A and B are shown apart, each in its own frame.
Chain A
Amino acid sequence: MAITRGWTVALAAASTALAAVVAIAQPAGVPARGADVFDDRCSECHALTGVHQGPSLVGVVGRRAGAEAGYAYTPAMKAAGVTWTAAELDRFLQGPKKLIPGTAMAVIISDPTERRDLIAYLGTLKAH
């Protein structure tokens, strides 16, 4: 429907603009601090090499949700239609079940600085 689509485009434009403002307003995350957040909050389920309870997070930034080969994703994650930009990861980490109902991911990182540092760290995890 044209009207709906128009709204969607407008909303998308608005949220992009908002994301840009947020990006300007906030300091960049510090990967070294993010590594500590990862150890403290993520490493029970996510390994840096291969599949564990959760999928590997190497290369997660920019990856489509539910796309890591070899991991048995929930149907909810496979159907999420989300690409893990820094902004989407930031939303997800504030309440995974709110963004993707049915996900097995339970960890909430409510501190914005911790989220920023963690996402900066995740951005350094590149597949070789």
Chain B
Amino acid sequence: MPRWALLAGLGLIAAPALAATITGMAAYGDWRTDAPGVVRHITATYIPKDVPAPPGVAPPSVVARPAGAELKTLPGFTATVFAKLEGPRQVRVAPNGDIFVAESQPGRIMVLRAGAGAAKPSATETFAEGLSRPFGIAFYPLGPNPQWVYVANTGSVVRFPYRNGDLKARGPAQVVVPALPRGGYHWTRDLAFSDDGRTMFVSVGSDSNVAEGMSKKSPAEVAAWQRTHALGAAWDKEENRADVLAYDPAGKGGHVFAAGIRNCVSMATNPITHALWCVTNERDLLGDNLPPDYATQVKPGAFYGWPWWYIGDRQDPRHEGERADLKGKVTVPDVLLQPHSAPLGIAFYEARGPGAFPAEYRGDAFVALHGSWNRAKRTGYKIVRVMLKNGQPTGEYEDFVTGFVVDDHAVWGRPVGVAVAHDGALLVADDGGDVLWRIAYGHH
């Protein structure tokens, strides 16, 4: 009997994925049914009806790590605290292996350096500070010798001159995009460059839950608006929000790349297909099981539904009767995640070498779920593996790391950004526990 099976039999660790993929209503579980190896497939053909949750749901207490509490991983994996930080959010790894972390609330970009297989960083420096809720980080040009570190503040995109090995910004920030829409519900702005290096994507979440305050347009006004705006683009305070915007790397030529994406918190490009991917937080106050959050390929010019529609041609009851012109034009996202999971980070896994995860992980994506507030029983608070075959999503996702939830009212960690270190370990920022986790395979 393999060691994991013995330990699993003793209830010490979870068994790997032996059970069938959970579908239908059973896939709408909560933290009590989460465990490494559990695979769910939420489909657009089965979206339950629901009613708004009763009042009294709220974010959890974020408590200190209870004595003896450990994260749960699959056999062969370990999860250890790699570094202590202050409110770490986004994580990106530079071409030379240095680890950049956005401490958004304190307004800093930190950089950590560690040797292959090291359990702790050998150096931790403040790369830049005095920023305005920085979140997105990207290196440009692509390839081994970037000249710039781009950072997305909540209201702008800036870049710092950079050479491999810099632990401090070697010059002041240059403004690339001076004014992104800001304020309201969603403050994170992520950055990604297209794999051909020509396009800079900037994700901007909505100003509100579901555009409750947006003015109404008549069908004629809608038609006039659509003639000069991207399919499904919103207006008023929601203009250029709930979108992925695209610019050239100098910050010129800004336009809506895709619309109706309520809050695309993190983006990544698929290494096989080069498609842009995004993880999105869907709307609240429709019910515990509505609507699914998602990870999806973002197609140019596509409209993903917000605020009038969701998951295809399902009309949001708060916009009953509006925008019939968009019915049939709503792109259904690729991978539906349990409603209110709050996916905040995504990274594709490509590592090879002695510390890499087993080969079957290559080409899959890891997504960090910050966890629910608008739900009676908590869901999220875990890292999941999104399954792909030859770069195409199967729709399934598997619990990869769980264990942050203490009970219905308290958690001791909230995962945000994910990135793959050069030694193959998965790094996970946790702004509940104020740490960076290192998920490693084998003795690396």
A residues near B, CB below 8 A?
36, 39-41, 43-45, 51, 53-54, 70-76, 97, 101-104, 106-108, 110
Contact = CB atoms under 8 A, between A and B. Distances in A.
B165 interface: no
B64 A101 contact: yes
Nearest to B185: A44
A102 B373 CA distance: 15
Interface string B177-193: 00000111111000000
B105 A72 contact: no
Contacts of A107: 105
A21 B64 CA distance: 36
B58 A72 contact: yes
Q: Which one of B105, B182, B431 has the highest number of Cβ atoms from chain A below 10 Å of its Cβ?
A: B105
Q: How extensive is the interface on chain B, given as a class?
A: 20 to 34
Contacts of B62: 97, 102-104, 106
Contact of A53 (B58, B61, B409): B58
B60 A110 contact: no
Nearest to A44: B185
A44 B61 contact: no
A106 B61 contact: no
A75 B58 CA distance: 12
Task: For the complex of A and B, list the 5 residue pairs with the smallest distance between their C-beta atoms, beginning with the closest.
Answer: A74-B61, A104-B59, A72-B58, A108-B105, A44-B185
B47 to A, nearest CB: 24
A102 B56 CA distance: 18
Contacts of A103: 61-62
B56 A70 contact: yes
Contacts of B107: 110
Contacts of A72: 56-58
Contact of B61 (A39, A71, A104): A104
Contacts of B55: 51, 70
A74 B64 CA distance: 13
B291 interface: no
B87 interface: yes
Nearest to B209: A52
Interface of B: 55-64, 87, 105-107, 154, 182-187, 373-374, 409-410, 431
Given A39-B184, A40-B183, A43-B184, A76 B59 contact: no
Contact of B87 (A71, A102, A106): A106
Given A39-B184, A110-B106, A74 B56 contact: no
A104 B60 contact: yes
A43 B105 contact: no
B68 to A, nearest CB: 19
18 contacts: A40-B183, A43-B184, A43-B185, A44-B184, A44-B185, A44-B186, A44-B187, A70-B55, A74-B60, A75-B409, A76-B61, A97-B62, A102-B61, A103-B61, A106-B105, A108-B105, A108-B106, A110-B107
A122 B187 CA distance: 21
Contacts of B182: 40
A73 B63 CA distance: 14
Contacts of B183: 36, 39-40, 43
Contacts of A110: 105-107
A106 B342 CA distance: 16
Central interface residue in B62, B63, B184, B374, by most chain A CB within 10 Å: B62
A103 B59 CA distance: 9
Given A73-B58, A74-B61, A102-B410, 10 more contacts: A40-B183, A40-B184, A53-B374, A54-B59, A70-B56, A71-B58, A72-B57, A102-B63, A106-B105, A106-B431
A36 B56 CA distance: 28
Nearest to A104: B59
A68 to B, nearest CB: 11
A53 B59 contact: yes
A40 B56 contact: no
A90 to B, nearest CB: 16
Contacts of A75: 61, 409
Nearest to A45: B59
Contacts of A51: 55, 58
B373 A53 contact: yes
Contacts of A102: 61-64, 410
A97 B154 CA distance: 22
